[in-house]
Structure 1
Amino acid sequence: MGHKTAVFRKEHFNAAHRLHVEDWSAEKNAELFGKCNLPHYHGHNYELVVKVVGYPDPVSGYLIDMKVLSELVQREVLEHFDHKNLNLDVPFFKNINPTAENIAVVIFNLLRPHIPGEIDLQIRLYETERNFVEYPANI
């Protein structure tokens, strides 16, 4: 069966967002989210790392064609998120607060249907150089 291998694709996108819960008071939102709750939004230079794990094909040697993975991320993620206001321009966040955690889950859900089921998928999203999330966390 070969050796289980991890393959990574790194991408970058810029997006604005505001962390805000409509049912909360302005004071509670400001207390929890701080600068991330500014009414006119704020932006990040996100770094996205897509990790796929599985057994490479014994003939081609590929777990996944990196060109195919790159095109998939471009089409399913970057075209929707890059240079957008996540709250206003991206329908996936109409009813979801665009935290880094939720963005990672949305990206996972956009990519998962296009990755063969025998290949595991994990999303690592850097909101800043020091702050990042992984979804799912158990891979």
Structure 2
Amino acid sequence: MVYLTRRVTFSAAHRLWSQHLTEEENYHIYDKCANPNGHGHNYTLEVTVRGNPDPTTGMVMNLTDMKKITNEQVVDWVDHKHLNYDVPWLENVIPTAEMLAIAFWKRLEPGFPTGSLYEVKLHETENNVAAYRGEQTEAGRE
């Protein structure tokens, strides 16, 4: 089994705020990330597929196809956008790195051959990274 990763970058703004919390709770939990006007990040998104290289092409998947799927399903929607307001499929999502990784997975998975999407990893900063590998049963975990 070979794991192939395509990395892309994008810039976006967001505000961390939960409608299920009071104003005081939001500011206590999210601190400066609850700024009413939002704040921005230069994100790095890593999309990893897995499989056996095709004997004819030597590839698990064509990187050009990975780029096209990733851009069409995620990057073109989020780059230079305010994630809370400009991305319809993120409506009612608290745009933490964790929740974005899940949302990106859901957008990407249908575009890849069944079972080949292995991981979506989102670097919000150099120090903060969230990784998601889809819904897995206990028996299916590695």
- Report the TM range for the smaller structure's normalisation: over 0.9
CA change 1:133–1:52 in 2 (3 A) is same
C-alpha contact 1:123 1:136 (8 A) present in aligned 2: yes
CA change 1:94–1:120 in 2 (3 A) is closer
- Could you tell me which residue of structure 1 aligns to residue 71 of structure 2? 74
- Could you tell me which residue of structure 1 aligns to residue 40 of structure 2? 43
Query: d(CA) in 1 for partners of 2:30 and 2:131?
Result: 20
Figure out how many residues of one structure are paired with residues of the other and give that number: 136
**What stretches of structure 1 move > 4 A for 4+ residues in a row?**
none
- Could you tell me which residue of structure 1 aligns to residue 60 of structure 2? 63
1:121: how far off? Answer: 2.3
3-state SS in 2 of match to 1:10: strand
Query: d(CA) in 1 for partners of 2:10 and 2:103?
Result: 15
1:100 pairs, out of 76, 79, 97, with 97
Query: d(CA) in 1 for partners of 2:54 and 2:46?
Result: 22
1:12: how far off? Answer: 0.2
**Structure 2, unaligned runs of 5 or more:** 135-140
**Structure 1, unaligned runs of 5 or more:** none
- 1:32 aligns to 2:55 (yes or no): no
C-alpha contact 1:54 1:120 (8 A) present in aligned 2: no
Q: Which moved more, 1:88-97 or 1:5-14?
A: 88-97
- 1:123 aligns to 2:111 (yes or no): no
C-alpha contact 1:108 1:121 (8 A) present in aligned 2: no
3-state SS in 1 of match to 2:45: strand
TM-score between the two structures when normalised by the length of structure 2: 0.91
- Could you tell me which residue of structure 2 aligns to residue 85 of structure 1? 82
